Amino acid sequence: LLNIILVQMNIRGIKKIGSACLRKKASAVKPHEFKHVEILSVFDRMLTIAQENGEVVAGLAAPQIGVSKKIVLFGDPERNIAPTFLVNPEIEPILQHEKIMMIEACLSIPDYMGMVERYNNILVHYQNENGEYKKLGASGFTAGLLQHEVDHLDGILFVDRLHSIEKFYHEETFSELYDTDETIRKVYDNLEHSKIKFYD
């Protein structure tokens, strides 16, 4: 998990902060578009990036590759979560008063990270890459990750949700603080508690 947070590579094809496409609201994938070559090619590109950079890419949103469509890809080999597409995802917070602090990083903002407050338990309604309606429940790190990726579809970056500007770090500073700052270690340790359940 720490590798995912710390190792922010300049992956080819990823749009960086300042790109207009990262600030646009993405449009939904319509029923007739699921078999269009353009959308199939988006699925392929996102999956290729994730597979080639598996230690770094826990999640990826279509706007990050310059496509303003509501498509998210996530996966976590450490938790045996295979790469999964969420198309037109909608997040429903469970127990809205229960929130956690996340240490977040983003491929579109390389070398930086910050603390963001997220819902601890969520339900996600989505379509898979075949257009079938599905839902999943997530908590902890996975819940925060999915909220981060779905934010991309609304033109929101994690820096817009920073707990405070004092909690925004360069990765070198964060590495030093992790060894000395008990608050940061506590937040990180809490992220180890993560669950996900897929519903039929």
Catalytic residues: 149
β-pair partners for 119: 99
φ, ψ at 53 (rounded to 5°): -130, 45
